[in-house]
A and B are shown apart, each in its own frame.
Chain A
Amino acid sequence: MSGGEALLVFEAASVGYGGAAVLDGVSFAVRAGEVVGLVGPNGAGKSTLLRAVTGAARVLAGRLVVCGEDATRLSPRARAKVVAVVPQALPVPFAMTARRFVELGRHPHLDVLERPGPRDAAVVEDAMRRTDTLRLADQTVDTLSGGDLQRLTVAQALAQQPRVLLLDEATAHLDVNHALQVLDLVRSEAHAGAAVLAVFHDLDLAARYADRIAIVAEGTASEPLPPDRALDAEALSRVFDVRAVVRTEPVTGAVAVVPIVRGADVAALSRGPVGVVCGSGAGARLQRELARAGCRAVCGALNEGDVDAAVADALGHEFFRLPPFGEAGSDAEAWAEERFAACAAILVAPTPFGRANVANLRAAVRSGAPMLLLDDVTPDRDYTGGEARALAREACERGARVVASESEAVAAALALVESKEGRP
């Protein structure tokens, strides 16, 4: 994949409009056969980078090489022979037929007075067949839906038979089926030897379809890295100011990003802490709501790779880190008991209890802090041969309350935090 010819090369390039640079020091290459994704906040300059390739933005310093030629020296026609763009389709207010619309993609290959011939017609037909737009051929583009128009725009770009394909949030208007269709098509273009540089709005689609991802932010573009390295929680927090869980989606095998909360909403966790007995993601929303209320949480012992551990990491909550599938030993339990004892309240999430996490419940009961149980521990959640249920009964005998909803549980915990902080 990285062995292909570098068709698009930024060499310490500054790009922008007029004399003002939007991005500086951009250095990376897109090779034949690969898809490089660009992600970044709105207005960071992702489109500007693409527009530098099309000539609509200027290369102010450094170099941009397109198919071996300096981009600034290419005429629009020579450029359009090798570079095709799929922008977000603009409505066309004129009654042009769909076939004619796609045929305009042949323009760079035709002389000024030359009419499209049978070869061009074949290319147009093929592009429309591949984008599933042949049935629209005789309709006029001013009557089409945004999705149909977007796919025709893809067909128009394919009709250029480009070596470099640029996508500017090209799937933003498409339903999920057509979005996947377009991106599969783009992948197959890359497979056939095109170099693809694509702006993605959707991080999951970027992770799924890009071989490498560059982050555009803070006036530059980072070196493109494989999705699992480019989109780590730290980068998402820094660039997008969101706290997110990043994990490998088992179905697609691609990295998936689950934003939990905006960074600004959890900037200062100054209250609490509140204990959370959780595991397998059952406490994820409790953790989030506590963080939004500015409250720290202590999550006991959690396994590396557990969803609740990932959420706690993303939000900055405390927990005792166990190896994957490891059981909590006496050290972990002692740690949890000590931390829970300092809590104004302990929330028990409706998580299944097994031998690995029952230690957290034990520590919570022994800590003596007020407990709030989300739902009773029913037999179907108890894989400890009755120990978890016995602990829950013991907690209730000591005054723990059973609450029905997460919002009620969080509100009650915050009230306890308040009364504890209110005491001198």
Chain B
Amino acid sequence: MREQGASGTETAAPARGRRPLRPALRPASRAAVLVALAAGLAVAMVAGVAVGAVRVAPGEVLAAIGRALSGAARTADDAIIVDLRLPRVLLAALVGACLATAGVLYQALFRNALADPYILGVSSGAGLGATLAFVAAGTTTAGVLVGVPAGAFLGALATIALVVALAERAGRFESTSLLLAGVAVSYTLAALTSFVMVVSRESMHAVVFWMMGGLQRASWPWVGMLAAVLAGGAAAPLARSRDLDLMLLGDERASQLGLDARRFTLAMLACASLVVAGAVSVSGLIGFVGLMVPHAVRLVVGPDHRTLLPASALAGAIAVVLADLLARIVLAPVELPVGIVTALAGGPFFVWLLTRKERAA
């Protein structure tokens, strides 16, 4: 019997047909997914630049970018395209990529498809840190460009440490304890943020609008800052994508397979906090992107982080560019904070996810 089993006949035999096969994505289709997402992002960005109070033809958008790159003479619309809309769209894309990257990391490290920077309270922590820095740093460009992200980063790090400590106390990284700890910390930090805003009256309006998730303050220096943050925060996770796969098996199993799980988790949490802090200091609190995007992308490409990370970053970029586009045109000329758009889409998605999980259980 065993000889028969060992002769390899079972490779040819069809699987015993009780469950559908879900074959792995082949390397070619991996590349295809990434190329398709990149193309989608390009289209979304051109649309994002073209649509607004002044409509610009898509061809004209590309022409204007070409002129800016080549240093040719500008037309009247070029100022709108190159100085206002282009940085804004690029910033939206970077914010989305940052949030989705953070979502992928949190979901892998906590083995929990419900983890995301907003729900874990990390965004609120970054928000409080940024607000404090904002109030303290005042209005100098350098102070805002460096001080606010630094404050946000410290706030994010402190928050994730607190949430993890609370969750561990309540019983390891269980979904419920992690989410409850996140919600509790998040509310407390939001209250503290409100307190800071009320106390510092003069900057209150700016802070409120920023915290709701807006990209109005887009400018090229912010684009540069966030691009650097994303590059810094996503490089290590991308390089260690197999270690992230290992973490899906749980800390203890990952250690048994040779990963220093604790040290790796801390390093990855630092990366995630960095990109969240970058995104929050640019655009305030934009919820649910970090939850929805990795989840949806995982359904298509599977949990292999070598593909999941870049694909999620691209999809997150598309999501926020489109959300910002909607935010600008729904009540034009009034602009909605983009966070409202993502929350409107994300709330129902979160409910769907929860009920789906319950049915599966």
Residues of A within 8 A of B (CB): 54-56, 75-77, 79-81, 83-85, 87, 90, 92-97, 99-100, 104-105, 107-108, 110, 112-113, 129-130, 132, 134-136, 138-140, 143-144, 156, 160, 181, 184
Contacts and interface: CB of A to CB of B under 8 A. Distances in A.
A144 B2 CA distance: 23
Contact of B259 (A54, A96, A107): A107
Interface string B1-40: 0100110101101011001111110000000000000000
Contacts of B2: 181, 184
A107 B302 contact: no
B258 interface: yes
Contacts of A135: 10-11, 13, 15-16
A341 to B, nearest CB: 58
A77 B261 CA distance: 11
B28 to A, nearest CB: 16
Contacts of A83: 256
Given A107-B242, A140-B22, A132 B10 contact: yes
Contact of B304 (A77, A100, A144): A100
B249 interface: yes
B113 A100 contact: no
B239 A113 contact: yes
B256 A104 contact: no
Contact of A104 (B16, B257, B302): B257
B298 A94 contact: yes
B255 interface: yes
A96 B255 contact: no
A85 B302 CA distance: 26
Contacts of A81: 258
Nearest to A86: B256
Nearest to A139: B21
A184 B2 CA distance: 10
B252 A56 contact: yes
B250 interface: yes
A160 B256 CA distance: 10
B239 A112 contact: yes
Contacts of A56: 252, 255-256
Contact of A80 (B21, B257, B298, B303): B257
Interface of B: 2, 5-6, 8, 10-11, 13, 15-16, 19-24, 111-113, 239-240, 242-243, 245-246, 248-250, 252-253, 255-261, 298, 302-304
Contacts of A96: 245, 248, 302-304
A130 B84 CA distance: 63
Nearest to A99: B24
Contacts of A138: 21-24
Contacts of B248: 92, 94, 96
Given A56-B252, A75-B260, A95 B15 contact: no
Contacts of A113: 239
B258 A79 contact: yes
B273 to A, nearest CB: 22
Nearest to A94: B303
Nearest to B239: A113
Nearest to B304: A100
Contacts of B245: 96, 100, 104
Most buried by B among A81, A135, A136: A135
List of 8 A-B pairs having minimum Cβ-Cβ separation, nearest first? A80-B258, A108-B258, A94-B303, A77-B258, A97-B24, A135-B10, A85-B256, A138-B23
Contacts of B302: 95-97, 140
Nearest to B240: A112
A111 to B, nearest CB: 11
Contacts of B19: 139, 143-144
A135 to B, nearest CB: 4
Contact of A90 (B113, B243, B250): B250
Contacts of B10: 132, 134-135
21 contacts: A56-B256, A76-B261, A77-B258, A77-B259, A83-B256, A84-B256, A92-B248, A93-B113, A95-B298, A96-B304, A104-B242, A104-B249, A112-B239, A129-B6, A129-B8, A130-B6, A135-B10, A135-B11, A139-B19, A144-B19, A160-B257
A292 to B, nearest CB: 40
B111 A107 contact: no
A166 B19 CA distance: 31
Contacts of A92: 248-249
Contacts of A87: 252-253, 256
Contact of B255 (A54, A84, A94): A54
B303 A95 contact: yes
A139 B22 contact: yes
Nearest to B250: A90
A170 to B, nearest CB: 13
Contacts of A76: 255, 258-261
A134 B15 CA distance: 10
Contacts of B112: 93
Given A54-B255, A135-B11, A139-B19, 6 more contacts: A80-B257, A85-B256, A94-B111, A112-B243, A129-B6, A139-B21
B8 A134 contact: yes
A335 B118 CA distance: 84
Residue with the highest number of chain A CB atoms closer than 10 Å, among B6, B24, B113: B24
Contacts of A55: 255
A140 B304 CA distance: 12
Contact of A95 (B11, B22, B250, B261): B22
Nearest to B302: A95
Contacts of A181: 2
Contacts of A105: 257
A108 B243 CA distance: 11
B311 to A, nearest CB: 14
Contacts of A129: 6, 8
Contacts of B257: 80, 104-105, 107-108, 156, 160
Contacts of B24: 97, 99-100, 138
